[in-house]
With several copies, the nearest count.
Chain A
Amino acid sequence: MNVRILFFAQARERAGRANAELSLPEGSRLEDALAALARDYPALDPLWPHLAVAVDGRIARPGTQLAEGSELALLPPVSGG
């Protein structure tokens, strides 16, 4: 299955792009996607401890089941206002 990845702020700059597609085996969970992203984008390493991850617009735990077309967003600490 394919999921869509969105990178924001520092994550966008470190990944060198704002979005990507990721192909994963059927039945993958969020943690599987994150492991793949960690491999593909080593520049994200220092950010991981501070990132929140949303699946389809909601903050998600690593065990969250993904689906075809899920939208994953990597969200650094926020600083609006």
Chain B
Amino acid sequence: MPELLAGPIPVERLLAEAARPECGAVVLFLGTTRDRHEGRRVTRLHYEAYRPMALEALGRIERETGERFAVASCRIVHRLGEVPPAEASVAVVVAAPHRDAAFEASRWAMDEVKRAAPIWKKELYDDGSGGWVEGAELK
């Protein structure tokens, strides 16, 4: 089950929940906030979501990851609200018997999160202005 939460992503809990004795590989992807974008200084990011639809989209991605790849589990957690530089805005955790599937599944799931979840990111700059990040049109 995916989660949308305010505040830091509980990475250690996610890893503990992903660990299972029939798996030899866990891949954790963290998307973290960069402090520069196209030459401007980013002081923080603001995320918002259409929550019920985002949870459904992330849940669909979790399930589809399990169907497309030989993995035992896929969990996606996205942070909302303000995220300072170097902190994680999204975590994807995949556990799999073998590492190739874990890497491929994690990458695919992350691409899908960016493509298909109704979540938006605004960059806030050091001059007080802000800009929504150019994204992907939902289909």
Tell me if A78 and B138 are in contact (CB < 8 A). yes
A interface list, Cβ under 8 A from B:
6, 8-10, 12, 50, 52, 54, 57-59, 73, 75-81
Bin the interface of chain B by size: 20 to 34
Between A52, A54, A57, A73, the greatest number of chain B beta carbons within 10 A of the residue's beta carbon is seen for A57
Least distance between A67 CB and chain B CB atoms (Å): 17
Which single member of A8, A50, A59 contacts B48 (CB below 8 Å)?
A8
B31 touches A73 (CB 8 A): no
B residues contacting A by CB (< 8 A) are 31, 47-50, 52-54, 56, 78, 89-90, 110, 113-122, 132-139
Q: List, in ascending order, chain A residues with CB within 8 A of B53's CB.
A: 54, 57-58, 73
Q: Is the CB of A80 within 8 A of B50?
A: no
* Structural contact, B119 and A78, CB atoms closer than 8 A: yes
Besides A73-B50, A77-B136, A80-B118, 6 other A-B contacts (C-beta < 8 A): A9-B132, A10-B132, A78-B116, A78-B117, A80-B78, A81-B31
